[in-house]
Amino acid sequence: MAEQQRKILCIGEILWDALPSGLFLGGAPLNVCYHLNQLGISVEMCSRVGGDRLGKEALRRIQRNDMSTAHIQTDGQSETGFVEVEVTSNGEPSYTIIEPVAWDFIEPSPSLKQAVRESWGIVFGSLAQRNEQSRDTIQNLWKYADKKILDLNLRPPHIDRTVIRDSLAAADIIKMNEAELEQIKKWFSLSGSSCQIVETLAEKFECSFICITKGPAGAMLFEDGSWSDHRGYKTDAKDSVGAGDAFLATMIYGVQCGKKGKELLKYANAAGSFVAQKSGATPEYDIHSIEEIVMG
């Protein structure tokens, strides 16, 4: 279990989600960071906020949740990230992501490189790479990471085929949803079933771990040449904001604990189900909350 104690670093956007029910601090990498922390994993967040009120409040809330802000930079010119979120009748969110904002300008530093070197892995996505400054910082850090964990998280119009290709090529662990898999299929002119496409991607990008989430229908995992599937849990979803981030965090937790295949998906799906029942992306819970769902 010594492996479990190694730190994880999440890098990317910190922003405020303006939901109909209020303002919620978020951003996929920060949400993953929060959920890893809830599960007892040592984790640090790297991002950038503005020197405005929302930036100061973001730092205060992150610290209140016992997470380090050592690698969260403050920008004297750009505002803190902000997203307008609309939730449809079936609980699915749509986003209007303001730009440019502070997290577009994450800068490299020797201490950040050292933090990556000392980590079990680095979690990154595609959205935070929409601007050249943050993109260069993130991609430069790949060379120092033992494990590179890609949360694809496509948010039109902030998607770039070259960035996605480079990210897929760098990743050791990939998580995407069915819609994102369909987009990848079109970009790279792939054919066949979802399983065949994933197997082609695994070979093309030399990645032995690819997980496809299917919302309420669960998820499937291609790991070391074998397939696993879990159909998820029936739940009364309030909104799905943050559910995928909880899924990824719990999947990482499971990998660190040595879980594989369907057992790994059971825990990850349980976390996604739990968060979907709550308002906002970061409800309070611990591993026992997840185990209760798994055990029925």
Residues 173-225 have pLDDT tens digits of: 999 999 999 999 999 999 999 999 999 999 999 999 999 999 889 999 999 99
Q: Which residues contact 189 (CB under 8 A, 6 or more apart)?
A: none
For residue 271, is pLDDT > 90? yes
117 domain-assigned: yes
Per mean pLDDT, which range of 82-91, 111-120, 130-139, 256-265 is the poorest? 82-91
Looking at residue 1, its pLDDT comes to: 34
Q: How confident is the model at residue 89 (pLDDT cuts 50, 70, 90)?
A: confident
Query: Average pLDDT of 52-63?
Result: 98
Beta strands 219-223 and 22-26: pairing type?
unpaired
Looking at residue 238, its pLDDT comes to: 67
Cα angle value 5/206/260 (rounded, 5°): 45
For residue 94, is pLDDT > 50? yes
73 domain-assigned: no
Mean pLDDT across the chain, nearest whole number?
Answer: 93
Q: Looking up tokens 């949400």, which residue turns up?
A: 31
Separation between Cα atoms, residue 174 and residue 170, nearest integer Å: 10
pLDDT digits (tens, 9 = 90+) for 146-187: 999 999 989 889 999 999 999 999 999 999 999 999 999 999
175 domain-assigned: yes
Q: How confident is the model at residue 5 (pLDDT cuts 50, 70, 90)?
A: low
Domain count, the chain: 1
Looking at residue 2, its pLDDT comes to: 39
For residue 278, is pLDDT > 70? yes
Instruction: Give me the percent of the chain exceeding a pLDDT of 90.
Output: 80
For residue 35, is pLDDT > 70? yes
284 domain-assigned: yes
Q: How confident is the model at residue 6 (pLDDT cuts 50, 70, 90)?
A: confident
Tokens of 161: 């085929």
Domain enclosing residue 155, as ranges: 2-12+28-47+108-295
Q: How confident is the model at residue 3 (pLDDT cuts 50, 70, 90)?
A: very low
153 domain-assigned: yes
For residue 84, is pLDDT > 90? no
| Amino acid (1-letter code) at residue 283 | P
Q: How confident is the model at residue 58 (pLDDT cuts 50, 70, 90)?
A: very high
Looking at residue 4, its pLDDT comes to: 47
For residue 284, is pLDDT > 50? yes
161 domain-assigned: yes
89 domain-assigned: no
Query: Average pLDDT of 118-135?
Result: 97
Instruction: Give me the percent of the chain exceeding a pLDDT of 70.
Output: 96
Indicate whether this model's pTM tops 0.75.
yes
83 domain-assigned: no
CATH of the domain at 143: 3.40.1190.20
